[in-house]
Amino acid sequence: MNDVLTRAEDRLRTALGEPDARAAVTFLGTERIEVLRFPDPGRGLVRYATLGMSAAPMTDPTATVADPGRGPRAELLLTLRAGRAATDGVLRPLAVLAASPQVEGVVVAPGGSLDLGEPLWPGAPFTSVLVDDPDGPVPELPLPAPRDPVRFLPLLPMTPNEAAWKRVHGAAALRDRWREHGTDLTDPTRAGTPLSG
């Protein structure tokens, strides 16, 4: 395993405990992406974390020369309430999102959104996610210079209406709406937040 991924997995285990399941997905022309599931029964939560996205830095597709050492590195973290929906179906979709920097040349960063075009898991009302600020349960992982640290970016599921509203009004405005309505962003069965008015 790439030394960055070894360190990233150690950081996940230190912050979240032992995973109780993991799945690996390989896409044509990309490195393997794993998704680990971490139960948090004390809080009634389950966390899904990618492992593999941080093996290489993300590069701006408009850059004329890609630096193999420098550039942002990240893994994705999705936290949901346990037992309310068949959320384990999110494993492959999460791997798809984590592969997007390799496949599409996307730089995943806070405030951005990632769209699957299909439910995050079977029956889910969400087809995309908002990338949140990395101030969640997993602190960033420093790497030896000149490499950038690995950030563990929380994902917030969005309904199609919320995603469309976010494209017009921005991520901060959508977060404000969620806050105003007390939206539980970990609830896998939640309805869309009212956005008019």
Residue extents of the structural domains in the chain: 3-180
Judged by average pLDDT, the poorest of 48-62, 125-139, 157-171 is: 48-62
What span, in angstroms and rounded, lies between the C-alpha atoms of 160 and 172? 17
- State pTM to two decimals: 0.93
Instruction: For residue 77, give the nearest of 5, 131, 1 by alpha carbon.
Output: 131
Say which amino acid occupies 162. E
List pLDDT tens digits, range 144-157: 988 999 999 999 99
Residues of the chain with pLDDT > 70, as a percent, come to 94
Q: Which of 133, 191, 182 is nearest to 161 (CA)?
A: 191
- What are the strands of the beta sheet with 21-25, ordered from one edge? 21-25, 33-40, 45-51, 73-81, 150-158, 128-131, 113-115
CA distances from 51 to 23, 180, 182 (A): 10, 34, 31
Length of the chain: 197
Mean pLDDT score, 78-97 = 94
What is the tens place of the pLDDT at every residue in 16-71? 999 999 999 887 777 889 999 999 999 999 999 999 999 999 986 666 556 667 88
Select from 97, 174, 171, 157 the least CA-distant residue to 123.
157
pLDDT at res. 180: 95
pLDDT at 102 over 90: no
Q: Are strands 73-81 and 128-131 parallel, antiparallel or unpaired?
A: unpaired
In this predicted structure, what is the pLDDT of residue 195?
Answer: 87
pLDDT of residue 1 exceeding 60: no
Q: Write the burial class of residue 182 (CB in 10 Å: 0-12 exposed, 13-18 middle, 19+ buried).
A: exposed
Alpha helices in the chain (DSSP H): 3-16, 91-104, 160-169, 171-180
Residues in CB range of 153: below 8 A, 6 or more apart: 74, 75, 76, 77, 108, 109, 110, 131, 132, 134
Mean pLDDT score, 90-99 = 93
